[in-house]
Structure 1
Amino acid sequence: MEATEEGRIRTGTLWTGTAHAFTAIVGSGILALPWSVAQLGWILGPLVLVTFAIVTYYTSIIFSDCYRTPDPVTGRRNHTYGDAVRTLLGPTEGYRPSTKIWHAFQALGNIAFAFGYSNILLEIQDTLKSPPPENKVMKKVTLYAIGATTLFYISLGCMGYVAYGNDVPGNVLAGFYNIFWLVDIANLAVIIHLIGAYQVYSQPIFAIHEKWIVTRWPTSFFSTVYTVKLPFIKKYTIRFTLSKLLLRTVFVIFTTAIAMMFPFFNAILGLLGAVSFWPLTVYLPMSMYIVQAKIKRGSSKWIMFQILGLSCLIVTLVAAIGSIADILELLKNAKLFHIQL
């Protein structure tokens, strides 16, 4: 049965939420995991993967309690990550946030990028039916999704290292052309997966800009809703505005061009993971939970949170430095639209 509230229809279940979360977590970062394990070694590589998984799981389950405020079961819904930040931290808070050693630091960023999850957690939770309480279901979703993802990541990272040794490229699908058909199938699978994942991450961006356009120019032709009937399926129609049709198209073209221009697959992954992991996955969820759970400053739990946050901040800074150092080194011989592994 569909759950409706605040004009929204919610049909999500434990299993659809898990599938959605798994799809959102697994992205292009996995292609750099064999290289990352190769840089860190057999012991440190899997250990770092498990550590990031544990940190992400813990911050995600406490963040699940921030979906409703002030009570995690009966409080008002925060439909998006931004809603939760504004509600719990107030309007002044926001998103603040080569050598072998540089490669090791950059590998930390790659693994952090692979575990980026918390920033889309509330969007998934907002699809769940209630009862039971969404936070309890979401904690199970997080356990299943991150658990399965961690096993998948460790297997991929270690098997890639076994197969290619220290010569494994930054993108495991690049650099080896002796089995064309297998690489082509793998690339096709990546494309199919990222088409869905692109929608998950881009929809909030589209929504913000389209809402602003409608608010700014509510009666303009740019905001007018047009309806087109499908020629062979008369029962269905397509509704769109020019802002959606044009701006979304321009956004996709622009981001694709930018992605093709940057030749540093590995270094870019490491930098993105580094700059997003601490603020989005650790600092903000913990800060919101401290407010939600009314944890007193100076208490043992508050001190534990500060130690965890500081540790992750150090990892973020080190990973960012390693990635920036690698980018600067690669820039010396960089060519636009030519990938450098």
Structure 2
Amino acid sequence: MVSTSPPPKQQEALSDHKWKEETDTTRGAKWWYSTFHTVTAMIGAGVLSLPYAMAYLGWGPGTMVLAVSWCMTLNTMWQMIQLHECVPGVRFDRYVDLSRHAFGPKLGPWIVLPQQLIVQVGCDIVYMVTGGKCLKQFMEMACTSCTPIKQSYWILMFGSIHFFLSQLPNFNSVAGVSLAAAIMSLSYSTIAWAGCLSRGPVDDVSYAYKKTSSVDYMFRVFNSLGQISFAFAGHAVALEIQATMPSTPERPSRIPMWKGAIGAYIINAICYFPVALIGYWAFGQDVADNVLVDLKRPSWLIASANLMVVIHVIGSYQVFAMPVFDLLERMMMKKLNFPPGLVLRLVARSAYVAFTLFAGVTFPFFGDLLGFFGGFGFAPTSYFLPSIMWLVIKKPKRFSTNWFINWASIFVGVFIMLASTIGGLRNIVTDASTYRFYT
């Protein structure tokens, strides 16, 4: 019998063509889509850990690191937006596509794809933990007479939601979820800093550095750098968000995307700086790795804030998962000859949700996970990889202001990556030694 199926190379070309057609039909997003998608991607679990990072860094260094990170990542966001259409007539719809152009078809994916997957998968694992913890706290505050349930079960309940939401086909289809998540992020951040402000400093509040061994303190400082870098996570999906926008020679996509990114960073500053500074002012060195845990009154308001966090991380999970879904489905079509359609989506996406759910239940070390993934994944994708690609593609004049800014970003970003990865990994190992799994 003669086979009627096209050869592998032709199948690959057909699947790429089909993906391009699907992408072209979804390029109808407005500028404000980039605002709430970026807010949803960036503001999440990280904002609630900023006072905890301040407790190890102190007033001066902590404020400086937060401000420098905000400025550096805004600059690298601008660079990615400009590079999206750096070749006339070509749109680099994914981070890995831009990397192929910058570093070559063989080296490019190895430089960017592992880092991007660490960011996206790492975020989704942390959001599983955050969603489960906040859902648990909400129910315990809303129903004080209810029988307590293990934290692992709450994470499982939170994760089950994503088996359904993961079947939404693309970024535009999760726009409503993302918008609700962005509103929730602004709301619970306001509740966090306003609650700390109204409560005032705790008795005998201390802003001295935590008392611990010098070695342990050094690793905790490293981990704090990772927690702050985790708070600037939107770059990993920036090109995918920009890919949903129309582009013409008269009005290229970088114009609405940058307009939306500016809005997102303004909201980012409104959320981050008050939570970090006022949360540390209220609780000092004894602040928890999730500042909402320290706020007990009024109970109804804190319970509402925890529910808002749950809604927010539902949207954040989907924003980070969408590019992974696309990657998995393309890989299954190319390598396994899986036909596109509902069955492919159901298998690939459900398997991914199950994996992140298992990892979240197994390793629920919230603060340490933030530090580890922040350093290992977010520092490269948000702090210095865009600057490296800018130097390679744009080739600014040596020793010019632009050249110095990019090299400064690379130097600072590499230091944060190395320090916070070491600190986060060491703290995970330390905490795991005293942790009882699946409790």
Q: TM-score range by the shorter chain?
A: 0.7 to 0.9
Task: Provide the secondary structure at the position in 1 that maps to 2:26.
Answer: strand
Q: Residue 385 of structure 2 contacts residue 410 of structure 2 at CA under 8 Å; is this kept in 1?
A: no
Q: Report how many aligned residue pairs link the two structures.
A: 314
Q: CA deviation at 1:299?
A: 5.9
Which residue in 2 is equivalent to 1:92?
107
**What is the distance in 1 between the residues matched to 2:417 and 2:363?**
22
Which residue in 1 is equivalent to 2:339?
223
Which residue in 1 is equivalent to 2:362?
261
Which residue in 2 is equivalent to 1:171?
290
Give yes or no for the alignment of 1:17 onto 2:34: yes
**What is the distance in 2 between the residues matched to 1:19 and 1:167?**
33
Which residue in 2 is equivalent to 1:332?
433
Which residue in 1 is equivalent to 2:92?
78
Distance change (3 Å), C-alpha of 1:249 and 1:180 = farther
Distance change (3 Å), C-alpha of 1:122 and 1:224 = closer
Q: Residue 61 of structure 1 contacts residue 138 of structure 1 at CA under 8 Å; is this kept in 2?
A: no
- Alignment map for 1:49-88 (pairs within 5 Å): 49-70=66-87, 74-88=88-102
Task: Provide the secondary structure at the position in 1 that maps to 2:380.
Answer: helix
Q: Which residue identity is paired with 2:413?
A: C
**What is the distance in 1 between the residues matched to 2:302 and 2:363?**
22
- Alignment map for 1:1-341 (pairs within 5 Å): 7-70=24-87, 74-90=88-104, 91-93=106-108, 94-95=111-112, 99-131=216-248, 132-174=251-293, 180-218=299-337, 223=339, 225=341, 240-241=342-343, 243-295=344-396, 301-338=402-439
Return 265-274 or 38-47, whichever deviates more: 38-47
Q: Which residue identity is paired with 2:93?
A: H
Q: Which residue identity is paired with 2:330?
A: K
**What is the distance in 2 between the residues matched to 1:261 and 1:6?**
36
Q: CA deviation at 1:298?
A: 6.5
Q: Residue 47 of structure 2 contacts residue 271 of structure 2 at CA under 8 Å; is this kept in 1?
A: no
Distance change (3 Å), C-alpha of 1:142 and 1:335 = same
Q: Residue 23 of structure 2 contacts residue 244 of structure 2 at CA under 8 Å; is this kept in 1?
A: no
Q: CA deviation at 1:204?
A: 1.2
Structure-1-length-normalised TM-score:
0.83
Q: Residue 289 of structure 2 contacts residue 367 of structure 2 at CA under 8 Å; is this kept in 1?
A: yes
Q: Which residue identity is paired with 1:77?
A: R
**What is the distance in 2 between the residues matched to 1:141 and 1:178?**
36
**What is the distance in 1 between the residues matched to 2:23 and 2:358?**
39
In structure 2, the gaps of 5 or more residues are: 1-20, 116-211
Task: Provide the secondary structure at the position in 2 that maps to 1:79.
Answer: coil
**What is the distance in 2 between the residues matched to 1:163 and 1:180?**
18
**What is the distance in 2 between the residues matched to 1:45 and 1:158?**
9
Q: Which residue identity is paired with 2:266?
A: G
Q: Which residue identity is paired with 1:58?
A: N
Q: Residue 380 of structure 2 contacts residue 417 of structure 2 at CA under 8 Å; is this kept in 1?
A: no
In structure 1, the gaps of 5 or more residues are: 226-239
Distance change (3 Å), C-alpha of 1:301 and 1:158 = closer
Q: Which residue identity is paired with 1:117?
A: G
Deviations 1:283-337 (A, max 9, x none): 3211222233233567664354223312221122122222223223213212113
**What is the distance in 1 between the residues matched to 2:229 and 2:271?**
15
Q: CA deviation at 1:177?
A: 5.2
Q: Of Structure 1 and Structure 2, which has the larger fraction of its residues in helix? A: 2
Deviations 1:67-95 (A, max 9, x none): 1132xxx4301111111111222121313
Q: Which residue identity is paired with 1:32?
A: S
Q: Residue 110 of structure 1 contacts residue 266 of structure 1 at CA under 8 Å; is this kept in 2?
A: yes
Identity of aligned residues (%): 31
Q: Which residue identity is paired with 1:92?
A: L
Distance change (3 Å), C-alpha of 1:212 and 1:315 = closer
Q: Residue 263 of structure 1 contacts residue 335 of structure 1 at CA under 8 Å; is this kept in 2?
A: no
Structure-2-length-normalised TM-score:
0.66
Which structure's relative contact order is higher, taking Cα pairs within 8 Å and 6+ residues apart? 2
Which residue in 2 is equivalent to 1:229?
none
Q: Residue 288 of structure 2 contacts residue 294 of structure 2 at CA under 8 Å; is this kept in 1?
A: yes
Q: Of Structure 1 and Structure 2, which has the larger fraction of its residues in strand? A: 1
Q: Residue 118 of structure 1 contacts residue 280 of structure 1 at CA under 8 Å; is this kept in 2?
A: yes
Q: CA deviation at 1:146?
A: 1.6
Q: CA deviation at 1:178?
A: 6.0
